[in-house]
Structure 1
Amino acid sequence: MISLADIEAARDRIEGVAKHTPLDYSHTFSDMTGAAVYLKLENNQRTGSFKIRGALNRITTLSEAEKDAGVVTASAGNHAQGVALAATRAGVDSKVVMPEHAPISKVKATRRYGAETVLHGADYDEAQAKAHEIEERENRTYVHAFDDDYVMAGQGTIGLEIAEDCPDVETVVVPIGGGGLISGVATAVKERLGDVRVVGVQAEGASSVAQSLEKGSVQELDSVNTVADGIATRRVGDKPFEVIQRYVDEVVTVSDEEIAVSLTYLLERSKTLVEGAGAVPIAALLFEKFDFAPDEVVVPALCGGNIDMNQLTTVVMRGLVETGRYLKVRTVLRDRPGALHDLLAIIADAQANIYAIRHDRTSREIGMNETDVELDLETRGHDHVEDLLGALREKGYRVEVLV
């Protein structure tokens, strides 16, 4: 099991390449939750996530023969970029296997950092199987994304920074995918500070750790499904699981809807862009997935900011829907002059803003003298939505809420 000394040695190895990222007090999330919230902004790290820490620590410890043979890894995107940059800086050839549907922004970034990329499989686990085939065939060293002592120790340098920048921290909240990040951070803060609570967070669609803790051994999911692709793994690593059992106080899960809301709040209120996995700790805090006291010093680790722009649009829109800020409705009007004007007057009186209108007389679902209308609306919250729907129904409109 890794130790504080391993993590301190890792910090010496990666210094000058990986950045000491900011710890920023958040008035927004402190006000929203009642805790004293300090955001660990690892989304500001080189390559956009914490993964450069572990990858760099591992590659700097390779033998000369291993460096000459090259490295291979599997990744949903962030570890890929970390390995690519670390290998390129060390003059080591790197090959990275990524899931076929990995965000295109992460694929392109990995190539720019110097790695050859191979797209294979539906998820991380299928990509990993392919990477092991390449490892055996080409005699490369496999750089595991999380189940590796050097990688875990590298990620643990985040915990050292938290302990030094916020010595009065009471709770650290960390995402869990394969477990490399939380195992390193938990070791660092527990061994450096002692009485600190560590809360792990998984997405509901990739929650292998809760089952593993319940049964006392690593359990593998049949599949994963979450917007937080950075933590979408079917199983936690064997080595990280030992550390989680020893040092992690609680593991909770959050839904994709809660992740979307949290990502939207981070972007809108804190001007902080994160990916789905990066929003997971804030989601656990905002939706009170664990107990905390008023003014408790809480540090959520925002582990990465590499979100694909197409996905960002979808996630933010979902966040607006979940907070009552966006509404799509359908109704049927009599096909006569002024009918649409009357409908829009009610919406205007309710102070809702119209994004778009679709007006269709040809639908087979309506009568010959009717027209089908869909409206995309900007609203101001759930109460505003209910008031608007109530006003429409009071005037006799049959309204179907589409989103």
Structure 2
Amino acid sequence: MTIMKSETVHRSADMVLLPVTLADIEGASARIDGCVSRTPLVRSNSLSNCAGQSVHLKLETHQPIGAFKLRGAMNAILSLDDAQRRRGLVTASTGNHGRAVAYAARELGVPATVCMSSLVPANKVDAIRALGAEVRIVGSSQDDAQEEVERLVEERGLTSIPPFDNVDVVAGQGTIGLEILEDIPDLAAVLVPLSGGGLAGGIAVAIKALRPQACLVGISMERGAAMNASIAAGRPMAVREEETLADSLGGGIGFNNRVTLALCSTLLDDVILLTEHEIAEGIRHAWHQEDLTVEGAGAVGIAAILAKKVEVSGPTAIIVSGANIDPKLHQRIIEGAEA
């Protein structure tokens, strides 16, 4: 594994005023307790044999919506005052965040609108509608969907729940890091799906604050990895969105990114990109060896181990971020279809 940062950078990171703190994450943990699941962390014998170290799967697939996004959405919505919630909620999403906002809004009795691009798979769109949210399909990119959010905020006074670049959302996702360290105190590495950086950034804040020697690796797809391009450039970069098995990792990070680029640039040790074939192998392995139905984004950590693109030196946690794959696509992949 090629390390992007030196230990010196991480020692100095303690002096950097990051936009999300351990206290934010601990507060989120208390706030969402009872509203989200504390997900299991299970050892994978097959991946442990492959890596030569103990490898564990953090199964965010066990959340009520089948994905980790409920943590951040619930924390952000519970952090609003009553007036903000009553105005109605709106968000842009590649699928799972919209589902999380729709679920949380239904549980709290407030209306929600979810804006998505035409690239979002139909099964994710249908699941959001089934939760009672208004769905708007706008354009062919996450940026197009975000523009619709901003219009609705301006015209209808709705309250925006950003998908990742928000302190409360990031703090909610960071609660995963607290749970991992409770289960693996001697943690050596975490492999985490990387898109807009809410999940990776939040987990990195928690892990680096409590176990700074642990390595954080963000994993994305080769097709349209916006955060990877932005980290390399030192500023938000636009990338062309393409169809990918890891559809939940699509979209840009926002040209006005205020939270997640700083976190990922400072705290991630490495970023790894995967081919579509490698992601498909991860999905197949999850089904055949782990008895798990996993979407492409949720399989990237598994895929990185299988492809030998990451080497770990001790107990490792892989974030299995979601299970919401189209059933027909999943069937084709596990039967061996090429990506």
What is the TM-score with the length of structure 1 in the denominator? 0.76
Could you report, residue by residue, the CA deviation over 1:140-187 in whole angstroms, capped at 9, with x for unpaired residues?
011100000000000000011001111111000001111100000000
Q: Which has the larger radius of gyration?
A: 1
Task: Find the aligned partners of 2:228 and 2:99 in 1 and give their Cα distance.
Answer: 29
Which residue, out of 248, 261, 269, partners 2:281?
Answer: 261
User: Is 1:93–1:115's contact at 8 Å kept on the other side of the alignment?
Assistant: yes
More strand by share: 1
Aligned equivalent of 1:292: 312
Could you report, residue by residue, the CA deviation over 1:10-30 in whole angstroms, capped at 9, with x for unpaired residues?
011111110000000011111
Task: Find the aligned partners of 1:190 and 1:131 in 2 and give their Cα distance.
Answer: 33
Structure 2 letter corresponding to 1:158: I
User: Is 1:73–1:97's contact at 8 Å kept on the other side of the alignment?
Assistant: yes
> Shift in Å at residue 41 of structure 1?
0.6
Aligned equivalent of 1:348: none
User: Is 1:204–1:226's contact at 8 Å kept on the other side of the alignment?
Assistant: no
**Structure 2 counterparts to residues 2-401 of structure 1, below 5 A:** 2-235=20-253, 237-293=257-313, 296-317=314-335, 319=336
> Shift in Å at residue 209 of structure 1?
2.5
Structure 1 spans left out of the alignment, 5+ residues: 323-403
Question: Matched residue of 2:192: which SS?
Answer: strand
Aligned equivalent of 2:15: none
Task: Find the aligned partners of 2:241 and 2:98 in 1 and give their Cα distance.
Answer: 21
Task: Find the aligned partners of 1:104 and 1:245 in 2 and give their Cα distance.
Answer: 33
Aligned pair count?
Answer: 319
User: Is 2:277–2:338's contact at 8 Å kept on the other side of the alignment?
Assistant: no
CA 1:104/1:211 → structure 2, altered by over 3 Å: closer, same or farther?
closer
Taking CA–CA contacts closer than 8 Å with sequence separation of 6 or more, which of the two structures ends up with the larger relative contact order? 2
Question: Matched residue of 1:253: which SS?
Answer: strand
Task: Find the aligned partners of 1:214 and 1:67 in 2 and give their Cα distance.
Answer: 38
Could you report, residue by residue, the CA deviation over 1:209-247 in whole angstroms, capped at 9, with x for unpaired residues?
332222211211133332111111133644111011111
Aligned equivalent of 1:357: none
CA 1:128/1:316 → structure 2, altered by over 3 Å: closer, same or farther?
farther
Higher mean alpha-carbon deviation, 263-272 vs 222-231, is at: 222-231
Task: Find the aligned partners of 2:117 and 2:234 in 1 and give their Cα distance.
Answer: 30
Structure 1 letter corresponding to 2:76: R
User: Is 1:221–1:235's contact at 8 Å kept on the other side of the alignment?
Assistant: no
Question: Matched residue of 1:282: which SS?
Answer: helix
Could you report, residue by residue, the CA deviation over 1:17-72 in whole angstroms, capped at 9, with x for unpaired residues?
10000000011111122221100011111100000000000101112221121110
Aligned equivalent of 2:4: none
Question: Matched residue of 2:239: which SS?
Answer: coil
Structure 2 letter corresponding to 1:287: A
User: Is 1:70–1:94's contact at 8 Å kept on the other side of the alignment?
Assistant: yes
Structure 2 letter corresponding to 1:155: Q
> Shift in Å at residue 76 of structure 1?
1.5
Task: Find the aligned partners of 2:55 and 2:320 in 1 and give their Cα distance.
Answer: 12
Could you report, residue by residue, the CA deviation over 1:284-314 in whole angstroms, capped at 9, with x for unpaired residues?
1211222323xx2111100000011122134
> Shift in Å at residue 321 of structure 1?
5.0
Question: Matched residue of 1:146: which SS?
Answer: coil
Structure 2 letter corresponding to 1:300: I
User: Is 1:224–1:234's contact at 8 Å kept on the other side of the alignment?
Assistant: no
User: Is 2:51–2:311's contact at 8 Å kept on the other side of the alignment?
Assistant: no
Question: Matched residue of 2:242: which SS?
Answer: coil
Could you report, residue by residue, the CA deviation over 1:225-282 in whole angstroms, capped at 9, with x for unpaired residues?
3211111113364411101111111111011110001110110111011100000111
CA-based RMSD of the aligned residues comes to 1.5
Among all aligned residue pairs of Structure 1 and Structure 2, give the percentage whose two residues are the same amino acid.
Answer: 37
Question: Matched residue of 1:315: which SS?
Answer: helix
User: Is 1:264–1:320's contact at 8 Å kept on the other side of the alignment?
Assistant: no
